[in-house]
Amino acid sequence: MNGVHDMGGMQGYGPVIVEENEPLFHHAWEPRALAIVLAMGAAGKWNIDWSRSVRESLPPAMYLSVDYYQIWFEALERLLLQTDLVRPEEIHSEKALVPPVEGVRKLLKENVAATLSKGGPTERETDTVARFSIGQQVRTRKMNPPTHTRLPHYCRDKQGVITAIHGAHVYPDANALRQGEQPKWLYTVSFDAQELWGPDTTASSVRVDCWEPYLMAAEQ
Amino acid sequence: MSDTSHTHSSHGHHHEHDHDHEGSELSDIDLRVRALESLLIDKGYVDPAALDALIETYETKVGPRNGVRVVAKAWHDPGYKKWLLEDATAAIASLGYSGRQGEHMVVVANTPEEHNMVVCTLCSCYPWPVLGLPPAWYKSAPYRSRTVIDPRGVLKDFGIELPPETKITVWDSTAEIRYLVLPMRPAGTEGWAEDALAELITRNAMIGCDIARPPAQFAAVTGAR
């Protein structure tokens, strides 16, 4: 989706504001929001790509104006409603009005450490062969899907070179749409900064992780 | 931690609030988070003790000191550095750091010729097991927008100016690979113990937004204490 979340190369946002001795959290609600997002993420009712897709589909003005933890919170509320885990009237009344949905994996305190240290690896076995090899010139596709993708707009239809192959990974474009994991080969592609920006850059190269469907062999 | 029984049923909650001024927005989000937490507990979906354990993990256990240990060990032990650059996930896991948002790690080494910087232009991807939760600036629009086009300008915001001949490579974390920058070891630290080296490493240097402190500056800082 060509949304405001896809910020690479946008101009006019001003300097990076670095806070001296920044606290881990700025408001008391931030750790609570983080914790419920993580706990519900472990509940197994949605995947990380779906949740990213909901976050980037928030109203653009809201996305740009609220604290990042609030983006997570707003998306959590929408995910809970989309999955029928909570009803709108329950959010308004702040208490359970109908029985809970079954099959929610409740993250218990004793499992927190193990769940976090396991994480959610995305590499998968595959019986396919990688189409591209290290050193090969590739071109990213010209594409503008209205749904979730992880190919930023600034590096579409650009030529680069494969610098690493990471195995087959869950394909976010499909997984976000609940079409299954559909693992695809994942590559690091190095783009010459001039190829991306022309002369208006101070970077030498930009490296982007690209799934195979984002790429085609470059015309020599 | 917080009073989860606190609710404001008189306060109407809906999705797109109009925020008249910032003060009301802050209190509004505070109330909404408390209310949703209460609801999720009431529904039986979350364990309140698990919430506290999650927060405690990132407040006390998982933070940039983990990454500092990785970098100090790499500076101190050439064998470990080689392993780290070849298989970062395994080398980092050997120190006990693994899991959420660090499942697949790659470490990139700065050299006099090449400086590496890490960004996530699309969201806030960050290597949690070694750096903890990302700082606000890492998730901000200025950092996410400018780093891929004008990394030197961004570095200036951090007070860092690199030699013009140093090339800057920017890593955009678009997949589940998480990147950690191995800063250059400052000159004049030959023979230093790992613990002393650790004092020179900043969190921002491991993102590529700082350089390791030179020993003279470190001595001046500690001498002033």
Q: Do A209 and B29 touch (CB under 8 A)?
A: no
Identify all chain B residues contacting A201, using CB atoms and an 8 Å cutoff. 149-150
Q: What integer is the mean pLDDT of A53-57? A: 98
Cβ within 8 Å, pair B136-A208 = no
Q: Tell me: pLDDT of B9 over 80.
A: no
Position B219 scores a pLDDT of 58
Which segment of A170-184, B25-39, B47-61 scores lowest on mean pLDDT? B25-39
Nearest-by-Cβ selection for A10 from B1, B145, B154: B145
What single string gives the DSSP state of each residue in A50-77?
A: HHHHHHHTS-HHHHHHS-HHHHHHHHHH
Spell out the residues 6+ positions from residue A147 whose beta carbon is closer than 8 angstroms to its own. A1, A53, A173, A176, A177
- Dihedral (Cα; A213, B119, A176, B38), 10-degree rounding: 170
Would the pLDDT of B69 be above 70? yes
pLDDT: which is higher, A199 or B1: A199
Identity of the residue in B30, B99, B140 whose CB atom sits nearest the CB atom of A118: B99
pLDDT band at A112 (very low <50, low <70, confident <90, very high): very high
pLDDT at B5 over 60: no
According to the model, what pLDDT value does residue B221 have?
53
Nearest Cα of chain B lies from the Cα of A80 at a distance, in angstroms, of: 10
Judge: A16–B55 Cβ closer than 8 Å, yes or no. Answer: no
**What phi and psi, each to the nearest 5 degrees, are found at residue A183?**
-55, 140
Across B74-98, average pLDDT: 98
CB-closest option in B54, B132, B168 to A35: B54
Q: What is the C-alpha to C-alpha distance for residues B21 and A204, in angstroms, rounded to an integer?
A: 43
Question: Tell me, what's the pLDDT at B193?
Answer: 96
- B175/A211 touch (CB, cutoff 8 Å), yes or no: yes
Interface test with A, best of B4, B29, B92, B117 (most A CBs within 10 A): B29
Rounded to a whole number of angstroms, the distance between the first and last alpha carbons of chain B is 34
pLDDT of residue A184: 98
Put simply, whether the predicted model's pTM sits higher than 0.80 gets the answer: yes
Residue of chain A minimizing CA distance to B35: A94
**Residue A53 pLDDT exceeds 70:** yes
d(CA A143, CA B139): 26
Give start-end residues of each CATH 1.10.472.20 domain in chain A.
29-118
Q: How far apart are CA A40 and CA A72, in angstroms?
A: 12
Q: How far B133 CA lies from chain A's nearest CA (Å)?
A: 8
Q: Rounded distance, CA A114 to CA A104, Å?
A: 18
Return the closest-CA partner of residue A182 out of A121, A120, A124: A124
Residues from chain A that touch B101, judged by Cβ atoms under 8 A, are: 119
| Per-residue pLDDT at A93 exceeds 70 | yes
What element of type H or E holds B26?
helix B22-42
Q: Please check whether residue B165 is in contact with residue A29, taking contact to mean a CB–CB distance below 8 angstroms.
A: no
What CATH number is given for A123-217 in this structure? 2.30.30.50
Helix, strand, or coil here: B6? coil
Tokens read off for A116 = 């976090």
To the nearest whole Å, the CA of A100 is away from the closest chain B CA by: 6
Tell me which CATH code domain A29-118 carries. Answer: 1.10.472.20
**Helix, strand, or coil here: A166?**
strand
Please, which pLDDT band fits residue B220 given cuts at 50, 70 and 90? low
Three-state SS at B31? helix
Per-residue model confidence as pLDDT tens digits over B159-212 = 999 999 999 999 999 999 999 999 999 999 999 999 999 999 999 999 999 999
Average pLDDT of span B62-78: 98
Which residues belong to CATH 2.30.30.50 in chain A? 123-217
Which residue reads 């997949």 in tokens? Answer: B175
Distance CA A114, CA B198 (A): 28
Q: Three-class SS of residue B27?
A: helix
pLDDT of residue B224: 37
- Checking if the pLDDT of B65 tops 90, the result is yes
Residue whose token pair is 């960050």: B126
Nearest CB to A6: which of B15, B53, B121? B121
What is chain A's mean pLDDT, rounded? 97
User: Closest approach of chain B CAs to the CA of A13, in angstroms?
Assistant: 5
B27 Rama class: left (phi>0) / alpha (psi -120 to 50) / beta: alpha
For the segment A123-138, the average pLDDT, to the nearest whole number, is 98
User: Can you tell me the distance from the alpha carbon of B124 to that of A16, in angstroms, rounded to the nearest whole number?
Assistant: 15
